[in-house]
Amino acid sequence: MEALKNAFDFSDQPRLDLTIAGALALFLLIFPLLPVSAFALATMIQFFIFSLYGMGWNTIGGYGGQVDLGKAQYVGIGAYTTAVLLIRWDIPFWFSMPIGVLLAVSWSFIIGYPLFRLSGHYFAIATIATSLVLKDLFEVWDFVGAARGLEISPIAYQPPDYLRLIFKEDIYYYYVLFAFFLVGILYLNWFRKSRLGFQLRAIKDNEDVARSLGINVHWAKIKTYAIATGYVSVVGSFHACYIKAIEPEDTMSLDISILIALMAMLGGAGSLWGPIIGAGILIPLKSYLKEWLGGMAGLAGMDLILYAVIIMLISAKEPRGVWGIVERWRRRKRS
């Protein structure tokens, strides 16, 4: 009970932030009812997806300061679990999603134990390595369709199928995901002020001091890594039902992992709103840049060049992201 109350406790946030957040939530609630294009709606769904990925990453990467560049493997585990269970045994989304989380979290414990003996660059590269190993395995594993991937045929079901999450129109997906999005925020809000959240922030600051305060550093990291994994896996499962065609390359590639980290970093790693701000800037930008520039003949990759320049600018000029600018500005105003 207390945990539930704490999840809704935003009392440490400035009133201005909460007002803006409330207004935006209201806007997101009615967004699909406005006369918007299908493209805008699809972009918004991507925004939710990457916000949630970013929130997951933010637990271990932002609050914990562990640069995890291998989150895509858990997108893959979630997506493949849901797809395989649906295609082979007709197990609907709401059952396959928890199973996917269970598998993903189990895997995260197995590799998390050795992973968190490393730190810094070594840790970051090792997370990439584990993710690529899993991707390579999936690319030759016939059971999951190898490199061709899997396809969920919508013809086999009668949309709207709420149990299997098979819909014809994006608006259904939008609202399901919007609910996940709100739950994700509440959970993150609970997490950051929970015992584990506090321990993690102490670890990020100084591991020796954290140990002297009775914190089992290794175990706290592994637990948080599992939480981050849970987020990513749930959305991975959703992704399978939404996209309906998954393959190792677009669920588990390094680019996805980096994109996930980037959401949180652009918005502000280790802050509540950071990943949402990051996704809110990057996803529409990416999607519209691709639409405008990617289509033009001879300009292939132009969108990604601009994208790369943005990444480089953030890392050079404001590594604490947009939220870092806001915080600095506020602190200056206060003093």
Partner 1 sequence: MEILASSIVAGLLFGMVLALVALGLTIIFGVMDIINFAHGEFLMYGMYTALLASQVLGVDPLLTLPLAALVGFLLGIACYKGFITYILRGPMIAQLLGTFGLMLLLRNIALLVFGSEDRAVHHGVLVDKSFEMGMGIIVPATKLAAAGLSVVAFVAVWLLMNRTRMGKALTATALNPQGARYMGISTEKMNALAWGIGGASVTVAGALIVNFWPVNPYVGLLFTMIAFTIVALGGFGSVPGAFFAALVVGLITEIPGFWDFLTYTLELDWMYDVPMTSFKYMWIYVAYFIIMVVRPRGLFGWKH
Partner 2 sequence: MALLAVENLVKDFGGLRANDDISFTLEKGELLGLIGPNGAGKTTLFNCIAGKHPVTAGRIVFDDEDITALKAPEVARRGLARTFQVYAAAGDLTVRENVMVGCFMRTASRRKARERADAILEDLNLTAAAPQYVSELPVAAQKQVTMATALGTRPKLLLLDEVAAGLNPGEIEEIMASIRHIHHDLGVTVILIEHVMELVMRTSDRVIVIDSGRKIAEGLPDEVARDPQVIKAYLGDRYVQEAGGGEAHP
Q: What is the size of the binding site for partner 1 (CB under 8 A)? A: 47
124 binds partner 1 (CB under 8 A): yes
275: preceding bond cis by omega (within 30 degrees): no
- Separation CA 45–CA 39 (nearest Å): 10
Structure tokens at 145: 């369709």
The dihedrals phi and psi of 12, each to the nearest 5 degrees, come to -85, -5
Could you tell me if 164 and 93 are in contact, meaning their C-beta atoms sit under 8 angstroms apart? yes
Buried b (16+ CB within 10 A) or exposed e, 163-175: ebbbbeebbbbbe
- Residues 284-303 as x/- pattern, contact with partner 1 by CB under 8 A: --------------xxxxx-
Could you tell me if 323 and 268 are in contact, meaning their C-beta atoms sit under 8 angstroms apart? yes
326 binds partner 2 (CB under 8 A): no
Buried b (16+ CB within 10 A) or exposed e, 146-156: eeebbebeeee
Provide the minimum distance between the beta carbon of 169 and partner 1 in the complex, in angstroms, as a whole number.
34
Maximum distance among all alpha carbons in the chain?
63
Give the one residue of 43, 58, 130, 229 binding partner 1; rule: CB under 8 A.
130
What end-to-end distance do the CA atoms of the chain give, in Å? 38
> Residue 156 binds which one of partner 2, partner 1, none, with CB within 5 to 8 A depending on kind?
none
C-beta of 103 vs 289, nearer to partner 1: 289
> Residue 160 binds which one of partner 1, partner 2, none, with CB within 5 to 8 A depending on kind?
none
The dihedrals phi and psi of 268, each to the nearest 5 degrees, come to 135, 100
Interacting residues with partner 2 between 261 and 280 (CB under 8 A): 270
- Separation CA 168–CA 179 (nearest Å): 19
216 binds partner 2 (CB under 8 A): yes
Give the one residue of 99, 103, 211, 293 binding partner 2; rule: CB under 8 A.
211
Interacting residues with partner 1 between 227 and 246 (CB under 8 A): none
Q: Of 32-40, 115-123, 202-210, 289-297, which segment contacts partner 2 by CB under 8 A?
A: 202-210
Q: What is the size of the binding site for partner 2 (CB under 8 A)? A: 25
Provide the minimum distance between the beta carbon of 283 and partner 1 in the complex, in angstroms, as a whole number.
16
> Residue 307 binds which one of partner 2, partner 1, none, with CB within 5 to 8 A depending on kind?
partner 1
Interacting residues with partner 1 between 244 and 273 (CB under 8 A): 254, 258, 261-262, 265, 269
Given the rule CB under 8 A, which residues bind partner 2? 2, 6, 193-195, 198-199, 201-202, 204-206, 208-217, 270, 331, 335
